[in-house]
Amino acid sequence: MSTPSPEWQTGLTRLWERAEGRVVVLGIGRRGHGDDAAGPLLIDRLQASSDLAAIDCGTAPENFLGVVARHHPGLALLVDACCVGADAGTIHLLSPDELAHTDFGTHGLTPALFLKMIEQQTGAECALLAIESERVGADIPASPCVHKAISTIAEFLLSHAPKPRTL
């Protein structure tokens, strides 16, 4: 008997099935600042491993809107650390509409606004995968529970990604 997927996996599977076009994964965060590096650390795991477009946006995702558009995404998936009071390492899947009514984000442009901009420019489905942080601060590594969440997300994304074609 198989165990049911966590809610974020079920929701992401539905989004993936509806998406027409490439999946673009965008990591947001600051390297070297503990769990805030979750987005870029996930991108490191994804690059050169599949046909997913994996982009490290650092702390200024708005600078990558044109790059995202050039990929013609069917699904744009933003990955960032969050602090909403859940257990550290918890993975949340949020739509732009769910984000619009929160004070989520520590970066200049809120994830909700950035995802709305992507939707308007590309027509892509958009969502945020947020990883609950345990520790954030200068010159500290990401926590083990966030590394575990990154591994879980990477495994899920890579198992769903189309394999590169060989001729």
First vs last C-alpha separation in the chain: 39
Asked if 129 and 81 count as a contact pair (C-beta separation under 8 A), the reply is no
Please state the domain extents for the chain: 20-160
| CA–CA distance, 53 with 71 (Å, rounded to integer) | 8
The per-residue pLDDT for 164 is 47
The per-residue pLDDT for 83 is 87
Tokens of 152: 């879980």
Query: Closest by alpha carbon to 122, among 78, 75, 83, 54?
Result: 75
The per-residue pLDDT for 130 is 94
The per-residue pLDDT for 3 is 42
All residue ranges of the chain with pLDDT < 50 are: 1-4, 106, 164-167
The per-residue pLDDT for 103 is 52
Residue 66: strand, helix, or coil:
helix
Q: Is the pTM of this model over 0.85?
A: yes
Asked if 134 and 112 count as a contact pair (C-beta separation under 8 A), the reply is no
Q: Does the domain at residues 20-160 carry the CATH identifier 3.40.50.1820?
A: no
